[in-house]
């Protein structure tokens, strides 16, 4: 890619994780960016430089873009579409209850700008969409004087800015090669390969990448169960496996399961796309089933560490049998971590919340702490609405641990690794812990008096 390119005027429709990161980073690269969203309160907040989501460096880039007059926020995309060279669609595409992807937000965003786009401009889909959506967008647009491209995002929450500015690859799918090169030029100066393809292949890349990452996590969680069964140590096993350059160590870390806003949605969407095309994706169905099973394994560990044996599920991913309902009545569980990963305040698809919910179903009283949430949830109805009814949030780890019968680490916040666990043992009714992230030092915990249970560790 060339080192420099003339600045372009870019419209970004949607100011969520993807849209806001895209807008702020393109402004940082020198482009003139307008970010539009239908949420008036969000637009007002962002215009004042207040970023409503927890994302490393994003607040700094937003402030920089506003100060340098390269980034502004508006309510109406329609009013500014005619002034822009590119329009990026960055709106949510959630999974519906029937397993299909909800495209109404995307189509509404498209409808808001379709008739106003400047002739010769490029409409770019950055939202994650089902394979085969590009022709639907072309039909809905109904114009031949506007080029179309697919430019999927590969942003990890917590490191989205770094992922945008230093990507592993830039994928652009377009039937018009000149339009693809114009989109590629927006990223000029980045040291990353540019992969040009047709739109369908670009859409498939996004699903395939997330499905493979989910497969790695499900594999390592299943491997941890094998290690427990045969008496091996998963840390040593993974050091040996991850050292193979063909495999690598990324995403080879046991945990309570994969989650977030992307992997659950994208894996199920790819299964649906495959089924619709006549292929039963048994491998990916197994990956999803193992992830469901992992949630039950963590609940089972919590029960066993307090002396209760749950009957194993009869099928992969099946829920606990009826006989085990309310088996944790009277047991207080300190839940450490609620977000789906450290470095974000996002609860969407969080395996920590799903484990907590299952613990509540079997009767446990839940007291939780997460560094990203605090305890004043009256001001955060968006968060409190997602929490299990049996769960109370505290303002510190020690407040959550005080009087608990067992603790369970569900999010890998560094704060938990450096906690004064000797003090924690004194605060708890019983010093027991399930480390569902293998974050803690078992030797240190046992020296502090804890009964320690990890995933696949000897």
- The residues that are catalytic are 262
Distance CA 223, CA 231 (A): 12
Nearest Cα neighbor of 395 from 370, 364, 428 is 370
Distance CA 55, CA 1 (A): 28
Q: Which two tokens stand for residue 88?
A: 């990026």
Give the three-state DSSP class for 211. helix
Distance CA 282, CA 320 (A): 24
Tokens 């919910």 locate to 357
Measured in whole angstroms, the distance separating CA 153 from the mean position of its chain's CA atoms is 12
Laid out side by side, the sheet with 9-13 consists of 71-74, 32-36, 9-13, 86-89, 122-125, 147-150, 170-173, 194-197
Distance CA 239, CA 217 (A): 15
Distance CA 355, CA 411 (A): 11
Tokens 């967008």 locate to 137
Interacting residues of 155 by C-beta distance below 8 A, sequence separation 6+ = 17, 18, 21, 163, 164
Distance CA 344, CA 356 (A): 18
CB atoms within 10 A of CB 262: 26
Integer distance in angstroms from the first to the last C-alpha of the chain? 49
For residue 70, give Cα distances in angstroms to 65, 182, 411, 436: 5, 20, 37, 44
In terms of phi and psi (left: phi > 0; alpha: psi -120 to 50; beta: otherwise), the region of 166 is beta
Interacting residues of 292 by C-beta distance below 8 A, sequence separation 6+ = 257, 316, 317
Look up residue 428 and give its DSSP letter: S
Distance CA 117, CA 177 (A): 20
Measured in whole angstroms, the distance separating CA 136 from the mean position of its chain's CA atoms is 27
Q: Which two tokens stand for residue 102?
A: 């909800």
* 87 HSE (CA, 13 A, CB side): 31
Q: Which two tokens stand for residue 126?
A: 């950055």
């Amino acid at each position: 890619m060339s080192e420099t390119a003339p600045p372009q005027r870019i419209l970004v429709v949607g100011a969520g994780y993807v849209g806001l990161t895209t807008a702020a980073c393109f402004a940082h690269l020198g482009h003139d960016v307008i970010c539009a969203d239908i949420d008036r309160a969000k637009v007002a907040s962002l215009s004042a430089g207040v970023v409503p989501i927890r994302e490393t460096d994003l607040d700094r880039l937003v402030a920089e873009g506003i100060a340098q007059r390269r980034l502004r926020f508006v309510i109406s995309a329609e009013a500014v579409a005619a002034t822009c060279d590119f329009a990026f669609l960055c709106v949510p595409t959630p999974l519906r209850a029937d397993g299909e992807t909800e495209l109404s937000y995307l189509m509404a965003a498209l409808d808001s700008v379709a008739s106003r786009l400047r002739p010769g401009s490029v409409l770019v889909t950055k939202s994650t969409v089902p394979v085969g959506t590009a022709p639907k967008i072309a039909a809905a647009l109904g114009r031949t004087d506007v080029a179309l491209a697919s430019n999927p995002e590969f942003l990890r929450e917590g490191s989205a800015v770094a992922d945008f500015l230093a990507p592993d690859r830039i994928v652009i799918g377009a039937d018009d090669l000149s339009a693809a090169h114009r989109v590629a030029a927006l990223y000029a100066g980045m040291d990353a390969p540019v992969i040009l393809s047709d739109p369908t292949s670009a859409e498939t890349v996004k699903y395939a990448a997330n499905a493979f990452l989910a497969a790695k996590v499900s594999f390592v969680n299943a491997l941890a169960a094998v290690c427990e069964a045969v008496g091996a140590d998963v840390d040593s096993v993974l050091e040996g496996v991850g050292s193979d350059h063909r495999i690598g160590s990324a995403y080879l870390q046991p945990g309570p399961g994969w989650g977030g806003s992307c992997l659950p949605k994208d894996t199920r969407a790819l299964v649906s796309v495959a089924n619709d095309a006549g292929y039963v994706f048994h491998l990916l169905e197994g990956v999803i089933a193992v992830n469901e099973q992992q949630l039950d394994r963590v609940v089972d560990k919590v029960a066993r560490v307090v002396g209760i044996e749950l009957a194993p599920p009869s099928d992969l991913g099946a829920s606990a049998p009826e006989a085990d309902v309310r088996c944790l009545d009277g047991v207080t569980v300190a839940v450490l971590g609620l977000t789906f990963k450290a470095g974000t305040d996002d609860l969407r698809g969080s395996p920590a919340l799903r484990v907590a919910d299952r613990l509540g179903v079997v009767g446990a009283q839940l007291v939780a702490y997460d560094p990203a949430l605090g305890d004043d949830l009256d001001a955060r109805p968006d968060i409190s609405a997602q929490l299990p009814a049996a769960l109370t949030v505290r303002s510190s780890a020690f407040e959550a641990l005080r009087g608990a019968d067992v603790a369970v680490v569900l999010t890998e916040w560094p704060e938990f690794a450096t906690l004064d666990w000797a003090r924690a043992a004194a605060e708890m009714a019983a010093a027991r812990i399930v480390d569902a992230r293998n974050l803690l030092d078992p030797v240190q915990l046992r020296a502090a008096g804890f009964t320690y249970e990890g995933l696949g560790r000897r």
